[in-house]
Amino acid sequence: MFKPAFAAVLVASCCSVAADDSVEHISIYANRTATPQQEVLASITVLERDDIVARQASDLPALLAQLPGINLSRDGGRGQTAGIYIRGGNTGHSLVLIDGVRSGSATLGYKSLSMLPLELIERIEVVRGPRAALYGSDALAGVIAITTRRSKAVELNANVGSYGQAGTDINVSHSAEQLTLHASAGVSRADGFNVRKDLDADKDGYNQKYIKLAADYQTTVGQFSAQADVNSGFYQFDTSYGVEDEADTLNRAYLLGWQHQLGQWQHQALLSRTLDSEATFGPGSRSPFVTGRDEFSYQAASDLTDSLSFLAGMNWYHEQVDKSLTAYEQTSRINRAVFTGVNYQLNALQLEAAVRRDLINQYGGQNTWQLAAAYQLAEHWLVRASRGTAFKAPTFNDLYYPGYANPDLKPEESESDEIAVSYRNAGLVVQLAWFDRDVTNLIQGVEQAENVLLATIEGIEFSVEQQWQQFSSTFAYTWLDTENASTGKMLARRPENSINWRGSYDADKWSAFVTADYQSTTYQGMDWATGADLPLAPAHTVWGFGVSYMVNTALTVRAKVDNLFDKDYYTSDSYATAGTNFGISLSYSPR
């Protein structure tokens, strides 16, 4: 049951402290063009590198779980599988872009974020709500757009913590006239803890290493860029399916980009090749899965007049299964798409529209569209409304994996509405949004994939950001009502009520913060063997605390404690979560 007293305490705290709104955030991905955050007709959150570092989250899933409208379920600790649910959507209903490139496994149908190191991330933009009219398949619930590091100076970092956690990374940059070079590299590992005591007595840890090389070259015909990323690792896990309980991972990405301002037109092109590899293994067995994606995108944008802006582009990608445990009936498919969007502003009124046509060689055409309108009620008040459609093509596993496949599956489709009102001034941002989404042909199943006739998702997001002198705070409350219309049951692992609060104090050389994250009791779905409902995950509140101290202009020390009061809880049935744990980190960057 939701605890109103707990919410009242946090709301009261928000009225006296909150987050710094003095720096204007720019959205890059919500409209595919750089737009001031307050002018975007969607619910978005932007975290810059300083925000990411200040939060001292243990990993990327833990960081995302602090944001409005996002819930997390995880099968253990750092390195183990984590499910990210934006506004009640499935993990696969959120498109993950890394440096503008579609990312994720073609067999699973989503990007696993557990082994994507925070140390490699410069910026995160989360768009809540459909964006298929600009990005195509997968963006039913939202978009998670990640920009990797391009440090402008030498930077060294190191960290140690509970459960044998240790890591170090380095970032360097060099400029010479028109050429700029960037490099990042790091290693990380942990012994972990036993995530399923009923299965194995061992600890479940991880290790990984990564390297990134990038170059930008400015010419009279635009800026050319090249980039290569390699992220490899290993993690242990516990499962009741078979005997395999370890996995090797490898992710590679190669990018070539070009952008050029020609008159009033901004041109961009991006060519990429990505590889997603995971091989699970155990005594006497090994299950490899390797998928690849080649992608090309081009777009042109222009402010045609002071009131009207225009965007148009094309997108092509080829997905394929390069290696698998078993033979798939089909191992590749091609998607071709064109899209366009317009934005019109006249005095207090702003209108926005986008449409996209995707041609998938297995399904033919898919049309998606998005409409939005906003009106400035007063100097600080804005009301907006939007409606959009989206789809997700079935994955290779859904269609062709032996014993589970269903070649007759239809793409998942959705129609979403949102109405929001916001108040914004120099020290206070308050936002209230209602959203509603109907998903038809939702793909579910244990023994075989099948289309569910209808799933409904409705919710409310309320957030407050406020700055008062050296105190700041962010507060977010999300209410969700989900239903599988075929069974009348809720969708699994989506808590009805969740709260995230963070209060901080910043002095000249030091700062401190306190966090509190609450989830109500949560439906966990059905037992795959018996068909009976699993026990509800109990409600819980997890507190955290952190400090940082700037020793000098080059050296900063940070320390944190997660799960401060050693709360015993879980977000995925039978899987343990970390108890009280600490971390200490050093950052060195000579000026």
Question: In the 3-class helix/strand/coil scheme, how is 508-522 assigned residue by residue?
Answer: CCEEEEEEEEEECCE
Task: Give per-residue pLDDT as tens, 219-270.
Answer: 999 999 999 999 999 999 998 888 899 999 999 999 999 999 999 999 999 9
**What are the structure tokens assigned to 484, written together?**
């599988």
pLDDT > 80? residue 379: yes
Start-to-end Cα distance in the chain = 52
- Taking only the tens place, the pLDDT of each residue in 123-152 is 999 999 999 999 999 999 999 999 999 888
Domain extent, residue 39, equals 4-191+368-588
Q: CA torsion 324→325→328→334, rounded to 10°?
A: -20
Poorest-confidence range of 100-104, 129-133, 399-403? 399-403
In a domain, 335, yes or no: no
Model pLDDT, residue 445: 72
The whole-number pLDDT of residue 29 equals 96
At residue 449, the pLDDT reads: 82
Instruction: Pick the more confident residue, 328 or 209.
Output: 209
Percent of the chain with pLDDT over 90: 81
Helices (H) and strands (E) in the chain, counts: 5, 31
Name residue 113's beta-bridge partners: none
Going across the sheet that includes 94-98, the strands are 43-47, 121-128, 142-148, 94-98, 101-103
Query: Does the structure show a pLDDT above 60 at 13?
Result: no
Which among 434, 415, 484 has a CA at the least distance from the CA of 456? 484
pLDDT of residue 164: 97
Residue 328, domain member (yes or no): no
The CATH code of the domain that includes 513 is 2.40.170.20
H runs (alpha helix) in 73-127: none
- Would you state the pLDDT for residue 99? 96
For residue 98, the surrounding DSSP H or E stretch is: strand 94-98
Residue pair 269/298 in contact by the 8 Å Cβ criterion? yes
Residue 135 lies in a domain: yes
Count of domains in the chain? Answer: 1
207 assigned to some structural domain: no
Element housing 315 (H / E): strand 308-323
In whole angstroms, give the CA distance from residue 536 to residue 464.
30
Residue 157 and residue 587 in contact, taking contact as beta carbons nearer than 8 Å: yes
Average pLDDT over every residue of 323-342: 93
Instruction: Place 402 in a pLDDT band, splitting at 50, 70 and 90.
Output: confident
Bridge partners for 556 per DSSP: 550, 587
Nearest to 32 by CA among 292, 245, 309: 309
- φ, ψ of residue 396 to 5 degrees: the values are -65, -35
Under the banding of pLDDT at 50, 70 and 90, the label for residue 16 is very low
Domain assignment of residue 291, yes or no: no
Chain-wide mean pLDDT for the chain?
92
Averaged pLDDT, 271-276: 97
Tell me which of 509 and 20 has the higher pLDDT.
509
pLDDT at 5 over 60: no
Tens digits of residue pLDDT in 465-479: 999 999 999 999 999
| Lookup: tokens for 556 | 């900063």
Work out whether the CA dihedral 392, 314, 28, 371 comes out positive or negative: negative
Give the closest residue to 107 by CA, choosing from 335, 277, 315.
Answer: 277
Label residue 23 by pLDDT band (50, 70, 90).
low
pLDDT at 22: 45
- Any domain includes 79: yes
On whether residue 303 sits in a domain, the answer given is no
Give yes or no for residue 314 having a pLDDT over 60.
yes
- For residue 269, tell me if it sits in a domain: no
Residues 181, 225: Cα–Cα separation, whole Å: 10
Global pTM value: 0.94
